[in-house]
Amino acid sequence: MPSSRLRLLLLVAVVRGAMRPGAVNNRFPDDFLFGAASASYQVEGGWDADGKGEGIWDRMFHEHPEFSRDGQNGDVADDSYHLYKEDVKLLKELGVNHYRFSISWPRIMPTGEANNINQPGIDYYNNLINELLDNGIQPMVTMYHWDLPQWLQDLGGWTNPIIVDYFEDYARVLYETYGDRVKWWSTFNEPKSFIMGYSRDDGLIAPSIKKPGVGDYLATHHLLIAHARAYHLYDEQYRAKQQGKVSIALNTDWHEPLTNSTEDIAAADRAMQFDFGLFAHPIFSTEGDYPPLLRERIDNNSKAEGRTRSRLPVFSKEMVEYIRGTYDFLGLNYYSTTLVTSGLTGDNPSRERDSGIIESVDPSWPTSPSSTWLKVVPWGLRKLITWIHQNYNAPTIVITENGYSDHGTLEDTERISYYKSHMTEVLKAMNEDGAHVIGYTAWSILDNLEWNSGYTERFGVCYVNISDPARPRTPKASFYYLKNVFQTHEIQDTTDGSR
């Protein structure tokens, strides 16, 4: 038996990651998982093909073409519904371990109901999954990347508690149909983004319900319960046989205090709680439930508004326990960072106003040429990973999205330096801060329909020519750069994406 002092030293070494094989500064461990991502509405097209039902993004863009910056929508997008074999070919050449894609709920269940299955939709994902596996690529499936069946939205969507039952039915169909081959599941992609579909006053996010400070919290409440239902269902009925993992993909900017004043530090913490803790605390914290800070602020504001109950719904004790711990890993999407100070902004009421923070950016941060929000701040990713590691019980983390947008150039040197600098920060979080990151997923394999920005903002490591009905795909320099990193597990110095 080693002495207790020796054991302590060993423990420290293990915790610091120093004993993990391959844990050197520019090298990822041998078993590290590299992948690339997409989402159904952004790439598939075939919006009404072969019996697919209408989704909320179909409805929104058809009714409001002006909500798209270039008039593009998901009707055809990258036509991956027909061209998925080409996508898999590219993924194989890129050398990924996994492909993170999402399933379109209305494609397999046109109304969202489990008694109404669309067989061609089921077949599409069977074909995609089999094609991936035949090429040695693991499917990493997101159940919900924002395309709710319109039929369910007509019942109130995420604001109606009945959605939890429908989501559980949907999850059951997915486990039953694909669970023999899919071992990585995420229930939701970026709740923080899609709850804005129930709050934003410009209506730009489907389903364009403008109920800030009420609709977004209601949607949050129900999606958290739905997540837990899907997790428990897997645990109770599928895990033993299918041996997969179930989690959720959360996103946030890193929020850095504007100055080191106590007030700014507190404001930055509030920003993290409102953007990330709202979803993470109920699932990943030791005590569960919404962050106490949110409970207090939103309850107080609700009272001051003369309400009889809080705009943030309340979980019963049983429900807190039911949701707590429903994860096998944490999916993390990161793009950018903001500076935070305290102050009141946004609609009254709204989540923004409840948070009591004002955000800005440092003008010296490089900016994506095509984005209004993407500032390049690699160190924010390390701080975020380490903050999660310290605040939520050192979860196993898969970076489920990280990437850079431009107008679509093939010589995308800025994208290469974005990937390079961000992967370097991931390694620092692992090796120097002891965080348990096991995978990194680039957003995105293809230029795709970037929601309201259409194709004016492109995230792909492959260019897609959308003027050509054949939607030809062409690898960019960043494709070859990533290929090299994925192959060698080493961050290459070159920024020219040498082939």
Question: Whole-number minimum distance, CB 377 to ligand PNW, in Å?
Answer: 12
Closest CA to 319 of 232, 251, 240: 232
Kindly indicate which of the ranges 87-95, 187-195, 212-220, 357-365 contains the residues binding ligand PNW, using the contact rule CB under 6 A: 187-195
Based on the shown chain and the rule CB under 6 A, indicate whether residue 276 belongs to the binding site for ligand PNW.
Answer: no
> DSSP code of 55?
B
Q: Which of residues 385-424 bind ligand PNW (CB under 6 A)?
A: 401
Closest CA to 26 of 418, 379, 397, 424: 424
Q: Which of residues 69-128 bind ligand PNW (CB under 6 A)?
A: none
Alpha helices in 204-329 (DSSP H): 215-233, 239-242, 262-272, 278-284, 292-304, 317-323
Query: Which long-range contacts link 416-419 to residues 24+ away (Cβ below 8 Å)?
Result: 416/477, 416/478, 416/481, 416/495, 416/496, 416/497, 417/495, 418/376, 418/378, 419/478, 419/481, 419/482, 419/485
Out of 150, 220, 251, 386, name the contact with ligand PNW by CB under 6 A: 251
190 carries an active-site annotation: yes
Q: Which of 44, 131, 190, 414 is catalytic?
A: 190
Structural element, H or E, at residue 158? none
Question: Whole-number minimum distance, CB 251 to ligand PNW, in Å?
Answer: 6
Question: Whole-number minimum distance, CB 372 to ligand PNW, in Å?
Answer: 8
Question: Whole-number minimum distance, CB 274 to ligand PNW, in Å?
Answer: 14
Question: Is there a contact between 279 and 331 (Cβ–Cβ < 8 Å)?
Answer: no
Q: Which of 359, 401, 425, 450 is catalytic?
A: 401
Question: Whole-number minimum distance, CB 10 to ligand PNW, in Å?
Answer: 40
CA 477 to CA 475: how far, in whole Å? 7
Out of 26, 193, 285, 456, name the contact with ligand PNW by CB under 6 A: 193
CA 344 to CA 354: how far, in whole Å? 8
Q: In sequence order, what DSSP letters do the residues of 56-94 get, joined into one string?
A: HHHHHHHH-GGGSTTS--TTTTT-HHHHHHHHHHHHHHH
Which residue's CB is nearer to ligand PNW, number 264 or number 450?
450
Which residue's CB is nearer to ligand PNW, number 37 or number 233?
37
Out of 54, 190, 275, 447, name the contact with ligand PNW by CB under 6 A: 190
Out of 72, 189, 247, 350, name the contact with ligand PNW by CB under 6 A: 189
CA 85 to CA 137: how far, in whole Å? 13
Do strands 462-464 and 357-360 pair parallel, antiparallel, or not at all (unpaired)? unpaired
Draw the binding track, 421-460, toward ligand PNW (x: CB under 6 A; -: no contact): ----------------------x------x--------x-
Q: Report phi then psi at 171, rounded to 5.
A: -60, -40
The three-class DSSP label of residue 53 is coil
Which residue's CB is nearer to ligand PNW, number 302 or number 444?
444
Buried b (16+ CB within 10 A) or exposed e, 43-54: bbbbbeeeebbb
Task: Name the residue whose CB lies closest to ligand PNW.
Answer: 373
Q: Which of residues 35-54 bind ligand PNW (CB under 6 A)?
A: 39, 42
CA 264 to CA 219: how far, in whole Å? 29
The three-class DSSP label of residue 121 is helix
263 carries an active-site annotation: no
Angle at 100 between CA 222 and CA 166, to 5 degrees: 25
Q: Which two tokens stand for residue 17?
A: 């990651």
Kindly indicate which of the ranges 56-64, 179-187, 189-197, 337-345 contains the residues binding ligand PNW, using the contact rule CB under 6 A: 189-197
Closest CA to 357 of 346, 373, 372: 346
Draw the binding track, 206-245, toward ligand PNW (x: CB under 6 A; -: no contact): ----------------------------------------
Residue bearing tokens 């946030």: 252
Which residue's CB is nearer to ligand PNW, number 67 or number 315?
67
Q: Which two tokens stand for residue 429?
A: 């979080």
Question: Whole-number minimum distance, CB 418 to ligand PNW, in Å?
Answer: 12
Question: Whole-number minimum distance, CB 90 to ligand PNW, in Å?
Answer: 18
Q: Which of residues 301-340 bind ligand PNW (CB under 6 A)?
A: 333, 335
Residue count, binding to ligand PNW (CB under 6 A): 13
Question: Whole-number minimum distance, CB 39 to ligand PNW, in Å?
Answer: 5
Binding residues for ligand PNW, rule: CB under 6 A, are: 39, 42, 189-190, 193, 251, 333, 335, 373, 401, 443, 450, 459
Residues tagged active-site: 190, 401
